[in-house]
Structure 1
């Protein structure tokens, strides 16, 4: 009984500061590790849900006024024509991951958002046509891209927005809607108000490949970064384990010294 009490004293009672510090390290390490694992599982679940919705029947933008809830993350086809003079270039977008790899150096560029007038509906569908590199010397010089003329068919995946980046301040309210412009984030509601036209409550991310129009459409998978989250989780759990081991080893050394001094 005395030995048990002595061991408890050596580990905890006589090392209150060390015990509290170890508990904090273990709690922080385990908490952060669990959070990183949760983020990885969340990305995997989102990717699985997206894949499942893409397997559902393809929607047609020309036959029905779809809501965001009905169409979100579904494949959709549309027929109409682009309105290139009203294009919106989204700045500070990273280079998409190339096919077959994820280790390419990042490059600044634009997402090209272009309105697409639906045939027979007098309604506009905003299309994320893809990524284009930014001019390193002058960001105002837009890269040259090709835009099909006339009526055509397109296909892609429906999203609520093309993704957002951090921006300081608000966008300029005095804009010329009759020429392409550069912005940080895309506001679907505001675009409808600026142009005064009827538009769908979502955007279409184009999925065409092999088209020589100057745009890249190797979209970043939702599972990108999962391995990194697991690696971070391992580091946090390792930190928690190391904190516990250091605390235990220090307490045992103190206990053995006390036992040796008392001849136990």
Structure 2
């Protein structure tokens, strides 16, 4: 074997090993994305199963959610209680139907449970001429009924500066931490919140986004990884086998 042939053979081995490694990695990433998609599908089915269960009453809610809090998420609730409007909070820079405004959160004192639930009551537009002006929200007095679903605390947005309070008003905030709000209000706040559902009322919209699994994203990523794996295989076969071995033999054939 000549030095040139030896060099070409070593190069062929290196390229083969690299191609096999690249195909293995991309195929594994594709399978991982398919696994993530299946996990999301299972979680979506779990959400739909919980939503179809009978609504929970206030007396059905455990005071300590450390053990079963995750199993309560997305469960429907039918509550009876009394609003505590003096602790209403307006979360700023929240959108509904593409419009910016406030999420309005008010604690609900239950009549049949020793806890207070923080209810995400709905969305209301803001006054862009006076950013510190609070919009008018109707808050019925006395005992009322609230239908909704159990949810985690509102998602946190990036914020600068003041942190929990914003725009000089403790009512208008960028984010809300349940533990900090519990200490601030001295209320026995439950560890989860409730998203109120139903038609628009009290000046609030309730067109909440549908909880989606996002499985299409994982299928798209899996397609890209498997496509890259196939492309590497095709390029390897063409340049390292067909052009190196098959075509030269055909050219030597008389």
Structure 2 unaligned segments of length 5 or more: list them.
Answer: none
Distance in 1 between residues matched to 2:14 and 2:133, nearest whole Å: 61
State the distance in 1 between where 2:118 and 2:181 align: 10
Give how far 1:95 is off: 3.3
- CA-to-partner distance for each residue in 1:117-141, whole Å, 9 max, x for gaps? 2236563111111234456677545
Alignment of 1:152 onto 2:152? no
Q: 2:200 aligns with which of 211, 217, 220?
A: 211
Q: d(CA) in 1 for partners of 2:32 and 2:96?
A: 28
- The total of aligned residue pairs comes to 244
Do the aligned partners of 1:85 and 1:180 also contact (CA within 8 Å) in 2? Answer: no
Aligned-pair CA distance for 1:148 = 2.9
Q: Within 2, Cα distance between the matches of 1:237 and 1:143?
A: 52
Listed one character per residue, the Cα deviations across residues 177-224 of structure 1 (whole Å, up to 9, x for unaligned) are 9x522123x3212111111121222211112x2233343323333335
1:113 is paired with a residue of what secondary structure? strand
> Over aligned residues, Cα RMSD in angstroms?
3.6
2:56–2:75: 8 Å Cα contact kept in structure 1? yes
Cα distance in 1 for partners of 2:128, 2:221 equals 33
Go from structure 1 to structure 2 and tell me whether the alpha carbon gap of 1:201 and 1:243 turns closer, same or farther (over 3 Å shift).
Answer: same
1:238 and 1:212, CA in 2 relative to 1: closer, same or farther beyond 3 A? same
Judge which range, 166-175 or 53-62, deviates more. Answer: 166-175
Deviation at 1:254, TM superposition (A): 1.3
- Report the secondary structure of 2:96's partner residue: coil
After the TM superposition, which parts of structure 1 deviate over 6 Å for at least 4 consecutive aligned residues? 173-177
* Mean Cα deviation higher: 62-71 or 82-91: 62-71
CA distance in structure 2 between the aligned counterparts of 1:30 and 1:133, rounded to whole angstroms: 48
Query: 5+ unaligned residues in a row in structure 1: which ranges?
Result: 1-5, 97-105
Give 2:51's aligned residue. 54
